Chain A
C-alpha cells in the first residue's frame, strides 16, 4: 500500500536533550494513525517536523514522497493542518476566514462543507473567533480543513481544551469524513478517550522511543491486564521482562502484558513471584496506553 507519510530514522534533540532517536513509521494511504504519548514525549515535535516547522537533527521525513521541509506548493494543497489548540486567525469572523482561505484552494474548496458545520455552531456570522469558546473554535478549524478537502490531514493534539461533547463531535465528524472519502489522517493526542473510535493504527510513544506501533484492533486483541493475589508482605518486583508496570494494592497485584496467561505464569515462576489465582481482563485503548506508559 502506498505510504503518504514516511519517517525514516528520525532523530531530534532540543539542545543536548534527546527527544527521540531513530524513529521509524509510515502512514499508509486511507488510514488514520494516532501518535499517542504523554506530554513531552515528542508528539508536537513530530508534527512540527512533518509540517515543515522544525528541522530534524537527522533522518528523513517524507510526505507524498517530498521532504517535509521542502514541500511544493501544489502538494501543500493536499495537506490539511490543524495546529495544537485549534489555533486560527483570532481577528477574523467565520465568514471572513472562509473567504480568505477559499482564495488559496480554487477548484477544491468546499464551501458547503464548512457552512454545514458552522450552522451547527449557533454563532453569529460576524462573531470573531477570539470571542468563541474552545469548542466552537475547534469546529471552525475542522470546518476549514473539511472545506479544503485535503488528501492528508495532520492534526496536532486536536483534543486539547475540548470538553467531552465537542471532543466526541469532532471525532465523529472526522471519522465519517475520513472514512467516507478515503482520507489519510495523522494525529496526535494526549487524551486517549474516544481515540479507539477514531484511529485505525496507533503509535504509542514514551520518552525517546516508540513502545508500540500496530493497528488498534491488533493491539487491543493482544494486550491484557492481569490481576493476581499475592502475599501482603511480598515486596513488588520491578522490571520483570514482558510484564509492564506492575502495581500492588495490599494482596492484589496488577500488570499488563502481550503474553498469554500460560506464558505470564511461567514468567512469574521464573521471577519467583508468589501468587495465587491469576486472571486476565480485556482492556480499552486508554488502559492499554496507561499499561504501556505507566501512570507517572
Chain B
C-alpha cells in the first residue's frame, strides 16, 4: 500500500520534483563552481582569507532554494488533493488516515531529504580538493539549516494547504512564515551548529501539525 501511495504521488508530482530537484542541484553546482572559479581568479589565498576572516559561507545563492522547492513540493502534492475535495478519495481508502497522509508526506520529505543529501555531497566533493575540512565543514554546517528549512517549509505548507478553512489557512501561513524565518537568522558559519537539533526537532514535530488540518477536514469544517 505504501508503494501504491508512492506510485500515485510520483505520477502526480514527478515533473515538479524532477525539475525542482534539477534546479536545486543546478544552484548547488553553480555555488560549488563559483567557489572554484573565485579560487582560480582571485587566488586561493584570498578565498581562504575570506572564509577565515568573514566567517561567511559564500554560497548564499543556494540559501532560499530548498525552501522554495519544499513549499512548491507541498503545493504540487496537496493542492490537487484539495481540488474539489479529492482528498476524500484518499481518506476513503481502507487504511488508517494518518498512515495515508503520513505516507504522502513521507514521499515528499524523502525526496527533500534525498536531494539535500545529494546537494551536501556535491558541495563536499567539489570543495574537498581546494579547501581544508574545517572550512568545508563550516560551509556544510551553514547550509544545513537551509536544507532543514526546505523540509520544514514542505511540512508547514502541507499543513496550510490541507486546512479547509480559509481564515485558519491565512493564520497558519503567517505562523509558518515566522517559524521559517528562524532558519535564516544568520549566515555566520557554524552559528546554528549547537542548536541544530532544536531546528531538526521542530522540523520533525511540524509533521504533527498536519493532523490538525486533517482533523478539520474530516470534521467538515469550512468557511
Smallest beta-carbon distance B94→chain A, Å: 4
Inter-subunit contact A55/B219 (CB<8 Å): yes
Inter-subunit contact B88/A81 (CB<8 Å): yes
With an 8 A cutoff between CB atoms, is B83 at the interface?
yes
Bits for B56-73, please: 1 = Cβ < 8 Å to A, else 0.
000000000000000000
The docked-state distance in angstroms from the alpha carbon of A102 to that of B212 is 30
Smallest beta-carbon distance A97→chain B, Å: 9
Q: Which of A55, A91, A100 has the most CB of B within 10 A?
A: A91
Choose, from A45-53, A208-216, A283-291, the stretch at the interface.
A45-53
Chain A hits for B91, CB < 8 A: 52-53
Closest partner residue, chain A, to B15 (CB atom): A91
- How many residue pairs link A and B with beta carbons under 8 A? The number is 74
Closest 7 CB pairs of A and B: A54-B220, A103-B4, A55-B219, A77-B94, A76-B94, A73-B94, A87-B84
* Binding site secondary structure of chain B: helix
Bits for A28-68, please: 1 = Cβ < 8 Å to B, else 0.
00000000000000000000110111110000000000000
With an 8 A cutoff between CB atoms, is B3 at the interface?
yes
Inter-subunit contact B219/A89 (CB<8 Å): no
With an 8 A cutoff between CB atoms, is A276 at the interface?
no
Inter-subunit contact B92/A100 (CB<8 Å): no
Q: Which of A74, A77, A100 has the most CB of B within 10 A?
A: A100
Report, as a range, how many residues of chain B touch the other chain: 20 to 34
Bits for B1-28, please: 1 = Cβ < 8 Å to A, else 0.
1011001100110000000000000000
Smallest beta-carbon distance A2→chain B, Å: 22
Inter-subunit contact A83/B89 (CB<8 Å): yes
With an 8 A cutoff between CB atoms, is A85 at the interface?
yes
- Cβ contact of A90, chosen from B3, B80, B88, B218, cutoff 8 A: B80
* Binding site secondary structure of chain A: loop
Inter-subunit contact B93/A92 (CB<8 Å): no
Smallest beta-carbon distance B31→chain A, Å: 33
With an 8 A cutoff between CB atoms, is A99 at the interface?
yes
Smallest beta-carbon distance A127→chain B, Å: 14
With an 8 A cutoff between CB atoms, is A134 at the interface?
no
Chain B hits for A53, CB < 8 A: 85, 88, 91, 217-218, 220
The 28 listed contacts between A and B (C-beta, < 8 Å) are A49-B220, A51-B88, A51-B92, A53-B91, A53-B218, A54-B220, A55-B218, A73-B94, A73-B95, A73-B96, A77-B94, A81-B88, A81-B89, A83-B86, A87-B86, A87-B89, A88-B89, A89-B8, A89-B89, A91-B12, A91-B80, A92-B12, A96-B11, A100-B4, A103-B4, A103-B7, A104-B4, A104-B95
Bits for B105-135, please: 1 = Cβ < 8 Å to A, else 0.
0000000000000000000000000000000
Inter-subunit contact B219/A83 (CB<8 Å): no
With an 8 A cutoff between CB atoms, is A105 at the interface?
yes
Closest partner residue, chain A, to B164 (CB atom): A53
Inter-subunit contact A69/B218 (CB<8 Å): yes
